[in-house]
Every structure is written in C-alpha cells, then in structure tokens.
Amino acid sequence: MADHGAKAQRFIALCLLGALLFNFPVLAAFNIGGMVFGVPILYAYVLGAWAALVALLALVAETKR
C-alpha cells in the first residue's frame, strides 16, 4: 500500500512539473527568434517538453515500485 502512495506522489510531482514547463515565464524564455532544424525554438521546446513529460509519466506508470 505504501508503494501506491509513492507512485501517486510521483504523478503529482510530474503534473506540477508540467504546469511549470508550460507556464508563461518559461515559455516566454523560449519565445525568441531562431530555428532548430527548421522549426521555431518555441515550437521545438513545447514538443520536446511534452515528449519528455509523456516519457516520464510512462516510466512512473510502468515501474513496479
């Protein structure tokens, strides 16, 4: 039962991380002129942060502990 609580805490922490990553001050830092592989930096950041967050959520969901 303690493992269930620890996993729930990890999910809550990842939700807070997502809220931080997609909040105004952080997004404004990446809203600069420039390109990464032909994609604007802001779009590349949003896609990369989203993919990392999904991967971390999947990792937490699949762990046995």
Q: What is the pLDDT of residue 52?
A: 98
Q: Is the pLDDT of residue 1 over 80?
A: no
Give the number of other Cβ atoms within 10 Å of residue 63's Cβ.
11
Q: How far apart are CA 22 and CA 46, in angstroms?
A: 8
- Domain spans, the chain: 2-62
pTM recorded for the entire structure: 0.87
Q: Is the pLDDT of residue 2 over 80?
A: no
Q: What is the pLDDT of residue 20?
A: 97
Kindly tell me the burial class for residue 41, based on how many C-beta atoms sit within 10 Å of its own C-beta (0-12, 13-18, 19 or more).
middle
> Quick check: 7 and 64 in contact, CB under 8 A?
no
